[in-house]
Amino acid sequence: MASIEKIILTDEEEQELLTWSRSQKMDFRYVLRSKIILMSAEKKKYKRIMRELKISKPVISKWKSRFAEMRLEGLKDAPRSGKPPIYTEKDSARVIHLACTKPTGGYTNHSQRRIAKEIGMSQSKVQKILKEHQLKPHKVHYWCGKSTDIEFEKKMLDVVGLYMNPPENAIVLSVDEKTQMQALDRTQPELPLRVGNPKRLTATYKRHGTVSLIAALAVHHGNIIAETIESNNAVIFLKFLKKLYRLHPDKHLHIIADNLSVHKHQDVKEWLERKKRITMHYTPTYSSWLNQVEIWFNILSKDVLKGGVWHSKQQLVDQLTEYIKTYNKTRSSPFNWTYDGNSKCI
């Protein structure tokens, strides 16, 4: 056996031990063992090592001896036989198979509790197996399915072209409707935000009807033109188009809209044919996400609708009107493109 009284380190060993001794993430036992060897290599006496590290002499001797025999590997925990596993690889495979198949009994998604009950093992073990194999049956990621529109590329390039390189003396307006916004009231007054407590609302509510909104986003300026509507039909849509036409008398209007039937109504088509300063651009089928006003509707939902309480339908209408005015005064600006062309979609 090599002498345990004299420890001589190579440059590589010294650097590795210094890394261990300074680590904030490594288990403390490895930090302590590395310090024992480093201090021993510096020829520090047992008493000093015992005093500074607050350990006993047998502990120092043990790790000096282990290092002398196996170097850095000797400082790691020796493998233990331990208690034999209760579950086999076959049991793990059953958990994985079940998690990756469609659940029965009317369920849409699996839960760890139900998997554990069906397999006959603890929920904690199921959780460990799923974590080891990076399986998360409780999570769902959505992705954009392929459009069935045979003219997808042509229409997509038309819309994106307006975003990236708009015609001169023209304004690009992204138009759509947000319908069925519920004016929900609560059966008890809300409890306001306080230290340690979030804003609290009763789970029971009263309905005061729904509000719909038709909006146009000026793509290259960021401002919003919008108004609440009682229903979503071709008459309302045409009336809104006429309003946009009047508001921009010296510009050619390029209107981006989805394929909703009211946007392609015969009355709308006939009116458009008589106007030279307006051109409609329709997004491809199942691709309304290309319409930038959808981004603004998402902002509206987070800023206004989420967690809102209204004592009447008119109160919601008034708040929407106030919000749009505030948005145009303080926040309106074009949306910046962040897509770099490196698609990760399947």
Q: Determine the pLDDT at residue 338.
A: 73
- Coil/strand/helix, residue 213: strand
φ and ψ at residue 61, rounded to 5 degrees: -60, -40
Q: Determine the pLDDT at residue 339.
A: 64
CA–CA separation, 100 and 311 (whole Å): 46
Q: Determine the pLDDT at residue 345.
A: 44
Q: What is the DSSP letter of 91?
A: H
DSSP labels, 250-303: TSEEEEEE---GGGG-HHHHHHHHT-SSEEEEEPPTT-GGGSTHHHHHHHHIII
pLDDT tens-place string over residues 282-309: 999 888 889 999 999 999 999 999 889 9
Token pair of 345 as six digits: 């979609």
* Helix H or strand E segment including 144: none
- Coil/strand/helix, residue 73: helix
The answer to whether the CB of 144 falls within 8 A of the CB of 345 is yes
CA–CA separation, 87 and 163 (whole Å): 58
Partners of 281 in the beta sheet?
256
Q: Determine the pLDDT at residue 342.
A: 62
Q: Determine the pLDDT at residue 1.
A: 39
- Coil/strand/helix, residue 56: coil
pLDDT tens-place string over residues 83-140: 666 778 888 999 999 999 999 889 888 999 999 999 888 899 999 999 999 998 888 8
The answer to whether the CB of 324 falls within 8 A of the CB of 211 is no
Q: What is the DSSP letter of 71?
A: G
Helices 123-132 and 89-99: crossing angle, nearest 10°? 80
> Domain-by-domain residue ranges, the chain?
11-75, 89-132, 153-330
CATH number of 153-330: 3.30.420.10
At 247, the amino acid letter reads: L
Q: Determine the pLDDT at residue 137.
A: 87
pLDDT tens for the 346 residues of the chain, in order: 344 557 888 988 999 999 999 888 888 888 999 999 999 888 888 999 999 999 999 998 999 898 888 888 888 887 776 666 677 888 899 999 999 999 988 988 899 999 999 988 889 999 999 999 999 888 888 777 777 888 899 999 999 999 999 999 999 999 999 999 999 988 888 888 888 788 888 888 899 999 999 999 999 999 999 999 988 999 999 999 999 999 999 999 999 999 999 999 999 999 999 999 999 999 998 888 899 999 999 999 999 998 899 999 999 999 999 999 999 999 999 998 776 666 554 3
